[in-house]
Amino acid sequence: MTGVTITPPKASIPLSGTTITAAATPAGAGTVKYSLVADKVAPAAATKIDESSGAITLDPKQPGGSMKVRADNESSWADASFKLIEKPAAIAGTAAGTYEGHFVHTFTSAGASAAGLDGENINEKFDSLTADTPFGPFTLQANAAGSSGWDLDSTGKMGGPDKVSIGKGIDASPFVKNASNPTPAKALPQGFSMTQKLHAKTFPDATLDATTPHVRTLEDVGGKLQMTLKAGAGSVSIEIKTPAAPATPATPAAPKAAGEGDEAVPEAQGTTD
């Protein structure tokens, strides 16, 4: 006997239509007896392996983490590890970075603890990548289907930020009272929201998990214009510079249309990735 193969090597719990099975290699390695061994996590009371077939049955209360299968025959033994991953339940908190709209979510687990989320993968989906906004048409760049998304660590925290931006081309003057626009047609705040659907990968399939709004709002805070970007429980505010009003009244410029998104500083465009 040279080794043990476990299929699948990584599975989401609770299992749904999946049976984890161990097999000694090469085939025909004598009379093999399988057993479960603790690794990062121990088998729960009702988590068992069939000594002959290698089929594993999980306790409904089995916590996520890695365990090992040991295979013994008449003259040798081998082992291999497999990983059980708990499903996220909700966003517990969001850390907002100081650079642009960078948001890092931390998730709670639907299982025993956040430690069981280690190795889970989160990605996003939007029903639409375009929106009509007070600032003109908006086009969003989001993660493509099948892209890498964000991995979670043993605390349930995303391994990288979700970047939310708005483009530089926003013209705030139609909403600001000044000599050339004494009575704005629309008062501040002005903004829009696009719902991000976060889904957790269920190994070996994928399933939708949670939603969180991405909100972009132009507002007057203490006499200063700022764009506030929100995702999950976090927010970032970026000051918006407006050109000085002309000395004589003039027709206010129409809002600039948004173009393709990028992840630079405030623009009349946007990204999330």
Residue range 173-229, pLDDT digits in tens:
888 888 888 888 888 899 999 999 888 888 876 665 677 888 888 888 888 888 888
Counting every residue written for the chain, the total comes to 273
| Cα dihedral sign, 262-264-267-272 | positive
Mean pLDDT (whole number) for 266-271: 37
Domain boundaries, the chain: 3-86, 88-271
Instruction: Enter the tokens of residue 73.
Output: 């025959």
Question: Cis (ω within 30 of 0) for the bond into 204?
Answer: yes
Tens-digit pLDDT profile for residues 1-55: 899 999 999 999 988 788 999 999 998 888 999 999 999 999 999 999 999 999 9
- What mean pLDDT comes out for the span 52-79? 95
Express each pLDDT in 135-158 by its tens digit: 888 888 899 888 889 999 999 999
3-state secondary structure of 51: coil
CATH fold group of domain 3-86: Immunoglobulin-like (2.60.40)
pTM score, whole prediction: 0.74
CA 215, 218, 219, 225 dihedral sign is positive
Beta bridge partners of 104: 95
- What pLDDT was estimated at residue 206? 64
The chain-wide mean pLDDT, for the chain, equals 83
- Please give the Cα distance from 64 to 48 (Å, whole number): 15
Give the C-alpha separation, 245 to 127, whole Å. 39
